Amino acid sequence: MKHLFKHLGLAVGLIVAAAALLLLSDLERRSPALAPGVVSSAADRVQPARSVTVAVCSPLPAPVFEQALAGLRAGLAAAGFSEGDNLRLIHRHANGDLALLGQVIQSLLTEQPDLLIPLSTPCLASALGQKSEVPLVFGIVTSPLQAGAGRSFTDHLPRVTGAVFSLPSRDTFVWARQLFPAARRIGALYNPSEANSQDEIDRLGPMLAQLGFNLQTATINSSSDIPQALQALQQQGIELYYALGDSTCVSGYSNIVRFCRDHAIPILAADGSLMGSGALLSSGPSPFAEGLHTAQLAARVLQGENPATLPFAPSTSHSLQLDFGVAAELRLQLPQALRAQLDIGYQLQHHLGRPARLALINLVENKALDAAMSGLRAGLEQHGLKPGQDFELQYYSAQGDLALLPQLYDSALQQAPDLVISLTTPALVAGVKRVREVPYVFSVASDPVKLGLFGQGRPAHITGVHDDPDIAGLVQMARQHQPALKAIGTVYDAAQPQSLLAVEKLRAACTAQHLALYEATVSTVSDLSLATRALLQRGAQALILSTDNLAVTGFGAIHQVTSAAGVPIFVSDMDLIALGATGGIGDSYSDWGRQSATQVFRILCGVPPADLPIEATRNASRVQPATAAPAASGRPRELRLVLYNETQFSEDCARGLRDGLQQAGLVEGTDYRLRQLNAQGDMSTLSSIMTSVKGEQADLLLVVSTPCLQAALRQAGSDIPIVFTGVGDAVLAGAGRSETDHLPQVTGITTRSPFEGMARLIRQTLPQAKAVGTLFTPAEINSELYREWFAAALESQGIRLVAVPVTASADTAQASAALCQEEIQAVAQIVDNTTRPGFAQIARRAAQANLPVYVFDSSQMSEGAVLCLARDYYQAGREAADKAVAVLRGTDPASIPFNNTRSETLLLNPQRARQFGLNVSPDLLHQAQLQD
């Protein structure tokens, strides 16, 4: 990077001096007219109902700012400000030249932003030096007071607030003392012209002295000074190096890592953004979390709060991170306490010298267990583990056959796994008998102690996460819903021990509340319908189902019988709410999987299972019964189905929605009237459609695609229930904070593409591939997310993603030509609304360049693609229809979690595969649907 930080001292000195003068004058003349909760004139321009512009400034492109910006975007989206809809976010940086910061900020101010977000102390100081009344919300700022933002965190300039990046973190050096008990001297480089760096150094010396360290420092003015300064520190005999987030140091961080590695000097990182490339350890604030923190404050200002009333907010969370590869190079003995508290581990493969082998044993596939598996995988990746590099997971399913479980364990154990994971109680029962020494984590199961599985005490190699269903609470809920309730029914498989445990609790609860309990046992899914009818004939006025895998898998058969008779069902499996259950108290299976992933991570880090407590699930939720009338009562319900454009994807989703409504037993014209509307790819038309839907006071709004969902959230109002499908990430589209914590009027099915599977297929069929290309649309949040997710999936296979942006469909031809001139071995086109209409041009340009095309949209196979791994959009529409039916029958959308479609389609054109010389295995030919 050339010409870094030119004229640094003079520029920043003038900035800070100007900021100080502004501060002193402004503190003297604060306006008494600004009462708490009243917004200043600049902030008063911002109205949540209309679009806003947010300008972001950073000193240079570096991981700390990239991660913070990602957190900022995610946080703003969660607060309802989505790029491409009601948010225009502009980010510019000074490319490492702090003398240019003033110009960068002036250029941002010419965009007339509603809010300016400076990332870093130098950016804040420069922003304060500008003549502007635009509100400031800062982030990644360690020294706001030194930058001139106020006298204290509560006594500050009236147009300024922000999130304080609390550094240094004492925990980092507490761990360093344990790892290096004999070390005395810690070295650090910093640029004294950066107020934050000087402030951090001033705090660092006394902190280190308390722990028996001496701080040795060397100053630099530009990154070119780093080699000489490092040599000076080495001559002072430093034994450890502390990497500050100093912008000058960050720009030359690779040189620091190289020097320290060559001289066996361990690096302690100020924050997690510096991990993963050579640092040993960090226990500081997370830049992504700080971006979220900044976004929360920014959203409050954009929604009308006065920055003058918002105190500066220090970091509240820290992340303990360790690089096992660096630890192996240093031949460190890691204390168990460190392993047990790690949040993120890098290069964990160095712990075993290879990827860890995981075996996952499951009884049966259903939505709940799919969610648990997704949560498990996501949890492992959130702990820093990369599939294929840090771990390999082998999946075994008994397909509902209990007798197969012992054989599956035997097969898994023959592969010498490092850890075994099981899902469901029957799998746990079989696993306790089969797995004798290998570390073992169970999940989605009942308490093994209550099941009597540990007759001789808890085995040292077993830990896990179990449920504790609130059966008495379900009985009370049923009674409150039906005050005249006299008899409850339940259906279960007596061969499943967790079901027997739940029924015992149900018997006790019914006895305590003086209710009759009718029981029916089943052994196959086909028995459920007849057993349910028998319960109703005996007089059951409500059903309670808990933890039974057969009942969950065949819930549709049970619900069909009870809904026809008007009998409510209360459940402990919350995914059944979306399928028609009346109410429930239970666990999030996705969170259950994530909680189990933490135990798996700890064991892979070297923590003995015996040191990890067997835990109950932490996150339980309650869904009260709805009181709304069934859809068939009274007038037909008014439904509106809104599409963004006429593509095969949209039509498939719409067709699935329509068929799903009818197959649920609803009759069009009698139970509902549905009108389909299409914006023809025009955002202004889409806006008009949503305004019309709101004016018509429709009973239910069905939307296909992210633009339609975001437009509905913005303009359809909060009174109309919304069910979506064809959306990549509903949370980042602004529909909520998580799949279970979302806006009360919204639910639906996401259709995130199977990026990991596609990355594996590209590696399999193109073993020599080093880079693949795609077009993406920065203005579409789903396209931006898909680009990031696909890049990460490809990286895990050692492949680089080359992404070329487009702004309109008309740009597709030119962008495709530019993409095909890059050094890529294939085109793998992600799905977005802008590139879809012009895909034929992408395929044509790729064919001219002799590049195979991989796609995530099955309709594109006929236009030149060689292989497709896609979601089945028709099936996604059917799944969304299930949620729509539940809403029409009275279930509150707030109680229905979002979930990704379970459907997947693999298509292959063998002729094109031969043409491009792809490596197509017999297994792939067998699995794929072949197309000409």
pLDDT (tens digit, 9 = 90+) per residue, 457-491? 999 999 999 988 889 989 989 988 888 899 999 99
Q: Tell me if 919 sits within 8 A of 765, measured CB to CB.
A: yes
Number of Cβ within 10 Å of residue 79's Cβ equals: 19
Q: What angle do CA 52, 54, 55 make, to 5 degrees?
A: 150
Sign of CA dihedral 744, 749, 753, 755: positive
Report whether pLDDT(763) > 70.
yes
Residue 629 CB contacts under 8 Å (≥ 6 apart), including other chains: 890
- Determine if residue 607 is left, alpha or beta; phi over 0 gives left, psi from -120 to 50 gives alpha, anything else beta: beta
pLDDT-based confidence at residue 157 (cuts at 50, 70, 90): very high
pLDDT reported for residue 905: 84
Q: What angle do CA 657, 660, 663 make, to 5 degrees?
A: 155
Burial letters 638-653, b for 16+ CB under 10 A, else e? bbbbbbbbebebbbbb
pLDDT (tens digit, 9 = 90+) per residue, 355-404? 999 999 999 888 788 889 999 999 998 899 999 999 999 999 998 888 99
pLDDT reported for residue 626: 66
Q: Tell me if 385 sits within 8 A of 348, measured CB to CB.
A: yes
Structure tokens at 635: 């007038």
Smallest Cα–Cα separation from 115: which of 308, 298, 310, 294? Answer: 298
Q: Under CATH, which architecture does the 52-166+290-314 domain have? A: 3-Layer(aba) Sandwich (3.40)
Number of Cβ within 10 Å of residue 84's Cβ equals: 20
pLDDT reported for residue 50: 58
Q: What angle do CA 782, 783, 789 make, to 5 degrees?
A: 85
- CATH class of residue range 471-571: alpha beta
Smallest Cα–Cα separation from 302: which of 620, 544, 50, 615? Answer: 50
What phi and psi, each to the nearest 5 degrees, are found at residue 876?
-60, -40
CATH for 755-872+905-930 (3.80.10.10, 1.10.1270.20, 3.40.50.300, 3.40.50.2300): 3.40.50.2300
Q: Tell me if 736 sits within 8 A of 907, measured CB to CB.
A: no
Residue 817 CB contacts under 8 Å (≥ 6 apart), including other chains: 845
Sign of CA dihedral 777, 779, 783, 787: positive
Sequential DSSP letters for 563-589? HHHT--EEEEEGGGGTTT-SEEEEE-H
pLDDT (tens digit, 9 = 90+) per residue, 331-364? 999 999 999 999 999 999 998 899 999 999 999 8
pLDDT (tens digit, 9 = 90+) per residue, 34-58? 222 222 333 333 334 458 999 999 9
Angle formed by the axes of helices 555-565 and 528-537, to 10°?
A: 30
Q: What whole-number distance in Å separates Cα of residue 536 and Cα of residue 562?
A: 8
pLDDT-based confidence at residue 4 (cuts at 50, 70, 90): very low
Q: In this structure, which topology does domain 355-468+592-609 adopt according to CATH?
A: Rossmann fold (3.40.50)
Smallest Cα–Cα separation from 319: which of 301, 293, 345, 297? Answer: 345
pLDDT reported for residue 196: 77
Report whether pLDDT(248) > 80.
yes
Burial letters 515-531, b for 16+ CB under 10 A, else e? bebbbbebeebebbbeb
Mean pLDDT of 89-116: 91
Residue 731 CB contacts under 8 Å (≥ 6 apart), including other chains: 77, 78, 737, 738, 739, 742, 898
Q: What whole-number distance in Å separates Cα of residue 117 and Cα of residue 101?
A: 13
CATH for 637-752+876-903 (3.40.50.2300, 3.40.50.300, 1.10.645.10, 1.10.599.10): 3.40.50.2300
pLDDT reported for residue 493: 92
Mean pLDDT of 579-594: 89
Q: Where do the domains of the chain lie?
A: 52-166+290-314, 170-283+317-330, 355-468+592-609, 471-571, 637-752+876-903, 755-872+905-930
- CATH class of residue range 170-283+317-330: alpha beta
Sequential DSSP letters for 448-484? TTTTT--TTS--TTEEEEE----HHHHHHHHHHH-TT
pLDDT-based confidence at residue 825 (cuts at 50, 70, 90): very high
pLDDT reported for residue 482: 85
Bigger pLDDT: 37 vs 301? 301
Smallest Cα–Cα separation from 851: which of 823, 879, 871, 878? Answer: 823
- Determine if residue 700 is left, alpha or beta; phi over 0 gives left, psi from -120 to 50 gives alpha, anything else beta: beta
What phi and psi, each to the nearest 5 degrees, are found at residue 547?
60, 15
| Helices of type H across 86-194 | 101-109, 121-128, 170-179
Q: What one-character DSSP code corresponds to residue 808? A: S
Residue 485: how many CA atoms within 13 Å on its side-chain side?
26
